[in-house]
Amino acid sequence: MALTKQYSKSKPVCKVTFALPAETVNGAKKVSLLGDFNEWNPTALKKQKDGTFKASVELEVGKEFAFRYLVDNDIWLNDEEADKFVPTGVSYDENSVVVL
């Protein structure tokens, strides 16, 4: 899993790229990103030639955003490279968090 941050020099935003490698998704057909930044509505990650799924989102600096991945509308995954983890509040699971 990969989580990369690219801070803007002129605006208080950071371009965060979320990625799940092919070996993590085991041949999945669809991977979605859900989080505070999209009101937990699924945003599809684009499948790359190497099988990795990726999406980039511009997020406001100085905030924290909880998120998770949903694979084939069935399996929830966290990002191992998240800055921290917090309880979901609806189950014993945790959400990944990116801190900007």
pLDDT (tens digit per residue) in 42-60:
999 999 999 999 999 999 9
Closest by CA to 18, choosing from 88, 98, 86, 93, is: 98
Strand-pairing partners, residue 2, are 19
Q: Is the pLDDT of residue 89 over 90?
A: no
Domain ranges in the chain are 2-99
pTM of the full structure: 0.94
Alpha-carbon distance of 6 to 18, in angstroms, equals 12
Long-range contacts for 72-75 (Cβ within 8 Å, ≥24 apart)?
A: 72/28, 72/29, 72/30, 72/31, 73/30, 73/32
Contact 86, 97 (CB under 8 A): yes
What CATH number matches the domain at 2-99, 2.60.40.3620, 2.60.40.420, 3.30.565.10, 2.60.40.10? 2.60.40.10
pLDDT, mean of residues 8-23: 96
Tell me the percentage of the chain whose pLDDT exceeds 90: 91
Per-residue pLDDT at 8: 97
pLDDT exceeds 90 at position 63: yes
Return d(Cα 82, Cα 35) in angstroms, integer: 13
What is the separation, in whole angstroms, between the first and last Cα of the chain?
A: 18
